[in-house]
Structure 1
Amino acid sequence: MGDRAADHGAAGLTSLRRYTWWTVPGTIAGVLAVFVGAWVLDGGVPLWARAPAAAALAVEVGSSVVLLSRRLKLLPVADAHPGGPPAGWLIAAAGAAVVLAAAPLALRNYGLWPVAPAVVVAIAATYLPPRRRRLLIVAAGAVALLPGSVVSLVEGDGELAYAALFPAGLVAFTAWVTLGPLWAWDTARRLDEARRLEAELAVREERLRFAADLHDIQGHHLQVIALKSELAARLVEPDPARAAVELKEIRRLAADALSDTRAVVRGYRRTTLDDEIANATRVLAAAGIDARMTLDPDAAATALTDAGRHLLGLVMREATTNVLRHSQAEHTEVEYRVADGFARLRVSNDGVSDVPASPEGTGLRGLAERLSPAGGELTWRRDGDRFVVTAALPAPSRTTPDPPSPADGAAR
């Protein structure tokens, strides 16, 4: 189950990373290619500006895609730059941005020159911690006010406000559209890591609980057995009769220790419906599956036998296993209610991809054979991409004595 849940979560994270890649590096590459590329191909632009701009555009697009892909960990990060941008690619992007800014600015194209520098600033900001990131964006926005303003004042073209404010606004806007999806990606990755850690801690906590119970029982019995053994050893020669009594007591203590140990193991491995429903909720949620539980309040007050709750717990466990192993489910519905003297458990899920045509070997046939002697029934069916498992067991009233059930002792 854990492997399947991890695979499901990894698949979802991979899809988000792929979407973020197309959203951020893909969008930036497209903007550079469309706007700057259209300017480069414009026949009215002098050749002295178009030729270097074309080469710089190719470098800028390639460097931007590589830097953002490294940021998303789609490409390997060099050991020399484990936490920051690769210096070589960043220098190449910055140099290309200078060329793509200087040529349009020399021709008084106040709307085009800040595009490439704004992209470089946004990419560099993605590698910085929040405080330094804000400082970089604010400083870049302030600097962006100057080049266009100077050119406009020198030329006296009357476009001072546009030349000053548009570049600064473009820097802020580019940083916003770049950092937003990356922030969502970072948050999703941290949540996935936290979910994996929570699952590992839950397993360790349960193991520690079992180890503590086993230690308490075994430690007490073994300590008494050790003391009794020492006493019996001292009494063998001076008082053989008393030593024999102590040896019998040691044998009884050993039998009690064995019985108590088995009881702990049975309690640890015992499957109940309530525990399995709670466990299914956690496991399915950890696998990224929307699990909706509909539990009849009257069902809790029903005097279902321990054997019956054990059997329905096995059904819940098997159904959960099937959801994780044999489907790409996104939604699962669990319904447990009591009606017409029967406790009914129904588990359905979508995304069925590999349900065997025959139930042989799946565990469902074996469970059906165990429910039948207890007066119950287990059915399963496939309806399109949905798989439905339904179990029913007699639910006697509290005044009815619990009937013995051969299913509880049957081999699974």
Structure 2
Amino acid sequence: MRDEPMEHGSGLGGFRRYTWWSLTGTLVFFLVLSVGGRIPDPDVPGWARALSAVALVVLIAAIVVLLRRRLSLVPEGVQAVRPPVGWLAAGCAAAGVLGAIAPVIHGQRLWSLAPAMMVSVAATFLPPPKRRMLVAAAVVAAAVLGGVVGFVSGGAQWPSAVAEPVGLVAFTSWTTLGMLWGWDVAERLNAAGRLAAELAVKEERLRFASDLHDIQGHHLQVIALKSELAARLVEADPSRAAAEMREVQQLSTDALRDTRAVAQGYRRTTLEEEIANAAKVLASAEIRTSVDRDSGTDVRNLSETGRHLLGLVMREATTNVLRHSRAGRARIAYRVEDGRALLRVGNDGATGSASQRTGTGLPVLAERLRNAEGTLEWRNEDGWFEVVASLPTGTAGAK
């Protein structure tokens, strides 16, 4: 099974593969064991063996294709996307053939196994109400057909002839639908997690917009009133008009200062916060993350500007891990050597070349670090992508 990009870091790719292999393997195993094991029997007529073999191959292929298709759909898309009609029809026909031939071959009593499997697979593409109706109809049909088979073969076998196919249909449907229900729940939880993250970003943007509106709204309203007053006084009382315009200038300066303060408070980041946040975010994405920091290394040895710049590097590197790789492991290392702070962030599962993964974030940060007498490099070697940033511990002045 191929991982979808949206599944990156969530563990859904592995869970999908586990669900598909275990479910498909279980169905195929019991089909081959119960039906295929009797095909080579020399006592079975040649036409029955040949027809059973062809039907078995077609049914197995249909189950594989249908389950693969089913697991490629998110739960909300199950009702909107139809299964491959050709494979569904072929699987139903093959299951019907196996069910019809089975009683003839040595009085085989598992005639309902193949139809039960096909019913359970087809039911996974239906919404829950229709799914329950299909399974209920299959149970009733199995009971009726089982009763007919039992009556024809002998009245004494009638109870077991009814109970066995009913039990097979119910058990097969319960197992198949139960495993796919687990996959649907996992996908919904993953979608809810992504939605929560998006909402958190939107809430933070709204908070920033609200703060900016409060500051700018007040200043701009006063500036507009005083500018209008100065325009009316420019001929009648020039000195007062000049005083009003000086106040407008001061208000503009205050508004610019307050805006910068809001923006700086919104965007300012520090290395220690970003390292801790990166470890949590990567761990929540099921990426095994190690943080290597010497016990004698203190982030406070850096200036505020240096901590801010390396914090931005840490944030950008974390974003690259989440967006541009299929990482299973990540490593964060920070130390101070020879008067320079050194930050390394690496991960496996790198895809594409380094230039394809960096976008504009790392080159822009590299320029900012050069202005602060630092360096920023990145490389991709054998699937391991690493970002290395270096700054002198006395960095100051670069913003």
Question: Considering the TM-score relative to the shorter chain, is it more than 0.5?
Answer: yes
Q: CA deviation at 1:234?
A: 0.8
Percent of pairs with identical residues:
51
Q: CA deviation at 1:219?
A: 1.2
Structure 2 vs 1, CA of residues 113 and 270 (structure 1 numbering), >3 Å: closer, same or farther? Answer: same
Counterpart residue number, 1:196: 194
SS at match of 2:175: helix
Counterpart residue number, 1:20: 19
The 8 Å contact of residues 9 and 287 in structure 2, kept in 1 or not, is answered as: no
Once the two structures are superposed, the pairs formed by residues 376-387 of structure 1 within 5 Å of their partners are none
Counterpart residue number, 2:348: 351
Structure 2 vs 1, CA of residues 368 and 322 (structure 1 numbering), >3 Å: closer, same or farther? Answer: farther
Q: CA deviation at 1:224?
A: 0.6
The 8 Å contact of residues 199 and 286 in structure 1, kept in 2 or not, is answered as: no
Counterpart residue number, 1:98: 96
The 8 Å contact of residues 95 and 114 in structure 2, kept in 1 or not, is answered as: yes
Once the two structures are superposed, the pairs formed by residues 47-126 of structure 1 within 5 Å of their partners are 47-73=46-72, 82-107=80-105, 109-126=107-124
Cα deviation code 1:36-59 (max 9, x no counterpart): 233333221124533443443344
Structure 2 vs 1, CA of residues 52 and 318 (structure 1 numbering), >3 Å: closer, same or farther? Answer: closer
Q: CA deviation at 1:172?
A: 2.6
Once the two structures are superposed, the pairs formed by residues 277-296 of structure 1 within 5 Å of their partners are 277=275, 279-281=277-279, 283-285=281-283, 287-290=285-288
The 8 Å contact of residues 288 and 330 in structure 2, kept in 1 or not, is answered as: yes
Counterpart residue number, 1:40: 39
Once the two structures are superposed, the pairs formed by residues 203-222 of structure 1 within 5 Å of their partners are 203-222=201-220
Paired letter, 1:64: I
The 8 Å contact of residues 314 and 345 in structure 2, kept in 1 or not, is answered as: no
Please give the alpha-carbon distance, in whole angstroms, between the structure 1 residues aligned to 2:160 and 2:195: 52
Counterpart residue number, 1:410: 398
Cα deviation code 1:254-296 (max 9, x no counterpart): 121122222222222211246424642564256442457899x
Cα deviation code 1:381-410 (max 9, x no counterpart): xxx98989899999xxxxxxxxxx6x2422
Q: CA RMSD in A?
A: 4.8
The 8 Å contact of residues 372 and 397 in structure 2, kept in 1 or not, is answered as: no
Counterpart residue number, 1:236: 234
Tell me the matched-pair count: 382
Please give the alpha-carbon distance, in whole angstroms, between the structure 1 residues aligned to 2:324 and 2:279: 18
Cα deviation code 1:83-125 (max 9, x no counterpart): 4445554344333322211221244634431111111221122
Cα deviation code 1:320-359 (max 9, x no counterpart): 357557875435577999xxxxxx9998766376999xxx
Counterpart residue number, 1:401: none
The 8 Å contact of residues 333 and 343 in structure 2, kept in 1 or not, is answered as: yes
Please give the alpha-carbon distance, in whole angstroms, between the structure 1 residues aligned to 2:123 and 2:247: 75
Cα deviation code 1:130-149 (max 9, x no counterpart): 34434443443354344344
Unmatched runs of 5 consecutive residues or more in structure 2: 336-340, 356-361
Cα deviation code 1:50-76 (max 9, x no counterpart): 3443443344334333332332238xx
Structure 2 vs 1, CA of residues 202 and 145 (structure 1 numbering), >3 Å: closer, same or farther? Answer: same
Please give the alpha-carbon distance, in whole angstroms, between the structure 1 residues aligned to 2:36 and 2:349: 47
Q: CA deviation at 1:231?
A: 0.4
Counterpart residue number, 2:358: none
Structure 2 vs 1, CA of residues 162 and 94 (structure 1 numbering), >3 Å: closer, same or farther? Answer: same
Once the two structures are superposed, the pairs formed by residues 330-345 of structure 1 within 5 Å of their partners are 330-332=328-330
Please give the alpha-carbon distance, in whole angstroms, between the structure 2 residues aligned to 1:73 and 1:313: 38
Unmatched runs of 5 consecutive residues or more in structure 1: 338-343, 373-377, 395-404
Structure 2 vs 1, CA of residues 108 and 141 (structure 1 numbering), >3 Å: closer, same or farther? Answer: farther
Structure 2 vs 1, CA of residues 158 and 108 (structure 1 numbering), >3 Å: closer, same or farther? Answer: farther
Please give the alpha-carbon distance, in whole angstroms, between the structure 2 residues aligned to 1:392 and 1:254: 36
The 8 Å contact of residues 303 and 396 in structure 2, kept in 1 or not, is answered as: no
Structure 2 vs 1, CA of residues 53 and 327 (structure 1 numbering), >3 Å: closer, same or farther? Answer: closer
Counterpart residue number, 1:399: none
Paired letter, 1:249: E
Please give the alpha-carbon distance, in whole angstroms, between the structure 2 residues aligned to 1:125 and 1:48: 32
Q: TM-score, normalised by structure 1?
A: 0.70
The 8 Å contact of residues 329 and 350 in structure 1, kept in 2 or not, is answered as: yes
Counterpart residue number, 2:182: 184
SS at match of 2:227: helix
Structure 2 vs 1, CA of residues 11 and 50 (structure 1 numbering), >3 Å: closer, same or farther? Answer: same
Q: TM-score, normalised by structure 2?
A: 0.72
Counterpart residue number, 1:175: 173
Please give the alpha-carbon distance, in whole angstroms, between the structure 2 residues aligned to 1:84 and 1:328: 30
